[in-house]
A = this chain, B = another copy of it.
Amino acid sequence: MQGTMMDVQLTVPTILERIRTQYASREVVSLLVAGRDEAGNPLPHTHRTTYGQVAERARRLAGGLLGLGLRKGDRVATLAVNSFRHLEAYLGVPSAGLVLHTVNIRLHPEQIAWIINHAEDRVLLIENVFAAMIPAIKAACPTLEHIFVLGPTPQPIPLPGVQDYDAFVMGSPALDQYPDLDERDPAAMCYTSGTTGNPKGVVYTHRSTLLHSIVSAPKDALNVGERDSVLPIVPMFHVNAWGLPYTCALYGAKQVYAGVFSDGRTVARLLQDEEVTITAGVPTIWMGLLAELDRAAAAGEPYRLSGLERLVVGGSAAPEAMIRAFERHSLTMLQAWGMTETHPLGTASGVPVGVEAQSDEGFTLRAKQGRAVPLIELGLIDDDGQPLPHDGKTMGRLIIRGPWVASSYFKGEGQDNFFSLGGQGWFDTGDIATLDERGYMHIQDRAKDLIKSGGEWISSVDLENAIMAHPAVAQCAVIAMDDPKWDERPLAVVVLREGQSVSHEEIREFLAPKFARWWLPDATVTATNLPIGATGKFLKRELREQYRGYGQAQGVNTPEARE
């Protein structure tokens, strides 16, 4: 029927044009490395620019890349920290019709090379602090034709042909006409952390990027607007820094980037000095900030953070104790959940109408992962793929669908994760979760970390969060140990706070009021630290290896396990 709406495509150039025309004077702040102290630690220098400048340089980057002969869909890799230059790549690369491939700098060099080869990247933008890696990467990655160094290029240049990014950008003509883009064209890609098997590439489209950006903005999600100042501590190589560079640009929020810095003191100062209203990061970052806020308050020189409206926490579950601890500083944490495969925003954990945020029920809900944002659907299935009830109790495999959820991995890998239910496509998250009647989702475990005891499931995550509330405990991981009778039983591995100690029996007594007896760990061991992977999560796989056979070797007693 005649009479319809314009078929305007949702594409990244829309965001670039918006900062260029509406928000040209809005600031972008980056902490760069000014030098080193005597111990070799980097010293921060505050760099200031504007969206107008970022837009101009992004358009020159786009023009320059196309001038190199790159064609639509070609991949441009970044190995970079959070800064205005990375933001230029976020906007300029997709606006040229190319695909921004952000590589995780914390991966092992062999994995980095594997990923660049798998993505067949033609260009690499690499931060000067990682320049020492260039010869090895160049040798291992034959598809790389051009390497540009972000920030002052070290002298002598590591390899012939390696060029200075700033000189390339400023010497290139600004792209004045964006290529014809379909909203389903690829815009960016990230590889999953790959704790099992090879990393898998997730490809974001222009459409998914734009939809994710506008759904992230409202107050029940991240609450981003023009008057905000936003500090994404989450790295820009990690699921597009949860989409914040795009969301903030689309809505004109000031962006603040901490570069290589993530310690509590630098973060606290930046939050204060740049009048940050919204910040986002993983729980380990907030542990460091909390310690610094506690220290400063105890010293009678508290930070002035009255404008800080919310700390968004994601990447792994925030324990309720942490949420409560920040309330003591009058700071509000908002838990959000997502994955590389979901762009990432899937849920946000605001409290519903009728519940006080600071009540016990409020804290309990806020420690869950929350409810689906608009356009996202969640479900639970059993091991046979059958739907399970949303009753807040039944644990099942969490499945998800929505317009910014992957339907396949790059080059068609990992097809087992995608399946059809009721005629609709779904992604299997690999998480075990519950969903309640009003939609609150609570992750219980990764499917592979779940402890299967006597045919029943025990959530390692629930036990860890509870144990971490114990005053003597700094960190905790609960893993399965083999058990001849029950197949698996829980073992708690704890890192103690300085000068503290705790016995296994004390841990059990501490947990007893909250859990069925058969959930309680059969053993507690202390460790000096826990192995952490490239995305900041505990590597439980390594712990399981380490403690394989621990129960039998130590003669751990499990007679009461099912009583």
- Is A199 in the interface zone, CB < 8 Å from B? no
Q: How far is the CA of A123 from the CA of B491 in the complex (A)?
A: 66
**In the complex, chain B residues whose CB is within 8 Å of the CB of A227:** 353
Interface of A toward B, CB cutoff 8 Å: 1-8, 10, 14, 17-18, 21-26, 73, 184, 186, 189, 201-205, 207-208, 210-211, 213-215, 217-220, 223-227, 250-252, 254, 343, 350, 352-353, 371-372, 374-375, 377, 401-412, 425, 427, 438-439
Q: How far is the CA of A186 from the CA of B2 in the complex (A)?
A: 10
Q: How far is the CA of A406 from the CA of B6 in the complex (A)?
A: 6
A440 CB to closest chain B CB (Å) equals 9
A480 CB to closest chain B CB (Å) equals 33
**In the complex, chain B residues whose CB is within 8 Å of the CB of A25:** 438
**In the complex, chain B residues whose CB is within 8 Å of the CB of A353:** 26, 226-227, 252, 254
A-B contact pairs, 17 of them (CB 8 A): A2-B409, A2-B410, A2-B411, A2-B412, A4-B186, A4-B205, A5-B204, A5-B406, A10-B403, A14-B374, A17-B377, A22-B372, A214-B374, A218-B219, A218-B251, A219-B223, A226-B352
**In the complex, chain B residues whose CB is within 8 Å of the CB of A411:** 1-3
Q: Which residue of B lies closest to A415 (CB)?
A: B2
Among candidates B1, B210, B408, residue contacting A4 with C-beta atoms closer than 8 Å? B408
Q: How far is the CA of A201 from the CA of B405 in the complex (A)?
A: 36
> A224, B214: Cβ atoms under 8 Å?
no
**In the complex, chain B residues whose CB is within 8 Å of the CB of A405:** 5-6, 8
Q: How far is the CA of A210 from the CA of B215 in the complex (A)?
A: 11
Known pairs A218-B251, A407-B4; A375 contacts B73 (CB<8 A): no
Q: How far is the CA of A208 from the CA of B402 in the complex (A)?
A: 17
Q: Given contact pairs A3-B203, A3-B410, enumerate 12 new A-B contacts (beta carbons under 8 Å).
A: A2-B411, A6-B406, A8-B405, A14-B375, A21-B439, A214-B374, A214-B375, A217-B217, A218-B218, A227-B353, A251-B374, A252-B353
Known pairs A214-B374, A374-B250, A402-B8; A2 contacts B220 (CB<8 A): no
**In the complex, chain B residues whose CB is within 8 Å of the CB of A352:** 226
Copies in the assembly, this chain: 2
Q: How far is the CA of A6 from the CA of B399 in the complex (A)?
A: 13
Q: Which residue of B lies closest to A6 (CB)?
A: B407
Among candidates B24, B225, B408, residue contacting A3 with C-beta atoms closer than 8 Å? B408
Among candidates B220, B406, B407, residue contacting A251 with C-beta atoms closer than 8 Å? B220
Residue from A26, A223, A225, A374 with most neighbouring chain B CB atoms (10 Å): A374
A-B pairs, top 4 by smallest CB distance, nearest first, are: A3-B410, A3-B203, A217-B218, A5-B208
Q: Which residue of B lies closest to A440 (CB)?
A: B22
> A6, B203: Cβ atoms under 8 Å?
no
Q: How far is the CA of A8 from the CA of B254 in the complex (A)?
A: 32
**In the complex, chain B residues whose CB is within 8 Å of the CB of A226:** 220, 350, 352-353
A217 CB to closest chain B CB (Å) equals 4
**In the complex, chain B residues whose CB is within 8 Å of the CB of A73:** 1
Q: Which residue of B lies closest to A354 (CB)?
A: B25
A229 CB to closest chain B CB (Å) equals 9
A41 CB to closest chain B CB (Å) equals 34
**In the complex, chain B residues whose CB is within 8 Å of the CB of A408:** 2-4
Q: Which residue of B lies closest to A218 (CB)?
A: B217
> A5, B203: Cβ atoms under 8 Å?
yes
A119 CB to closest chain B CB (Å) equals 10
Q: How far is the CA of A215 from the CA of B215 in the complex (A)?
A: 8
A81 CB to closest chain B CB (Å) equals 26
**In the complex, chain B residues whose CB is within 8 Å of the CB of A223:** 219
Known pairs A5-B406, A10-B375, A203-B5; A225 contacts B220 (CB<8 A): yes
**In the complex, chain B residues whose CB is within 8 Å of the CB of A5:** 184, 203-205, 207-208, 343, 403-407
**In the complex, chain B residues whose CB is within 8 Å of the CB of A203:** 1, 3-5
Q: How far is the CA of A427 from the CA of B5 in the complex (A)?
A: 11
Among candidates B8, B214, B401, residue contacting A214 with C-beta atoms closer than 8 Å? B214
**In the complex, chain B residues whose CB is within 8 Å of the CB of A10:** 375, 403
A412 CB to closest chain B CB (Å) equals 4
Known pairs A6-B402, A8-B403; A225 contacts B215 (CB<8 A): no
Among candidates B7, B22, B207, B219, residue contacting A219 with C-beta atoms closer than 8 Å? B219
Q: Which residue of B lies closest to A254 (CB)?
A: B353
**In the complex, chain B residues whose CB is within 8 Å of the CB of A439:** 21-22
Q: Which residue of B lies closest to A9 (CB)?
A: B403
Q: How far is the CA of A219 from the CA of B221 in the complex (A)?
A: 11
A167 CB to closest chain B CB (Å) equals 30
